[in-house]
Amino acid sequence: MESQDSKGKIVKETFPSEIISIIGDIFAGIILSFLILPFESFLILLLMIPALLSLRGNLSGPFIARTSRDFIIGDFTKRSWIENVLATYSLSIITAFFIGIFTILLNIAFFKIFILHIGYLIAIPIISIVLTLSISIPCSTGLNYLAFRKGLNPNNIVNPIMTAIDDFFTVFCFLLTIILLGVP
């Protein structure tokens, strides 16, 4: 792999993965709309979705970039990967807790609908994001490795592809969490 990628190579590597990302995001949104609409607590659940998708992207992106960097500079070790994973999970749990708190505050301020217990509003984002990361971390690490081994720049390819995969699994894990918790 060249030390400096040419503009043409960057576009050639990135464009197909961006198309995959767009298509995946559209399908994730359609699936989410149909799946959570029947829930009695739809309005409250809807408050969490943008924050969860943003959280997932804001934390998976740096994880992918750090892993990619480690492969590129030849510094990928089990220890560096475990530290990266632990940092990502820690930040995710803390941020998901705040998503729950903000959901409670927005619910009180705007909707005044008390269908869900406060504990659910905190547990749903935490459980959803932990489940999502449990799928995302191995997938993104594997894609980074494969891209690097094929001589491609993982920074150009992995993040857009993982955006689509992660958004789909965020929707799936969110739905799984609300079903497992028995959310009305």
How many angstroms separate the CA atoms of 22 and 27, rounded? 9
Report the candidate in 183, 179, 178, 47 with the shortest Cα–Cα distance to residue 115: 183
How many angstroms separate the CA atoms of 97 and 144, rounded? 29
Distance of CA 103 to CAs 3, 17, 23, 48, 79, Å? 45, 33, 29, 7, 36
Report the candidate in 89, 67, 51 with the shortest Cα–Cα distance to residue 141: 67
Contact 36, 172 (CB under 8 A): no
Each residue's pLDDT tens digit, 63-97: 999 999 999 999 999 999 999 999 999 999 999 99
Given a cut of 50, whether residue 1 has pLDDT beyond it is no
Q: Evaluate if pTM is beyond 0.75.
A: yes
For all residues of the chain together, what is the average pLDDT?
86
Q: Give the pLDDT band (50/70/90) at residue 4.
A: low
Sign of CA dihedral 161, 163, 165, 166: positive
* Structural domains in the chain, sorted by start: 10-31+42-180 (1.10.357.20)
Q: What mean pLDDT is predicted for residues 20-38? A: 77
Q: What mean pLDDT is predicted for residues 160-175? A: 87
pLDDT at 5: 65
E strand segments, 16-112: none
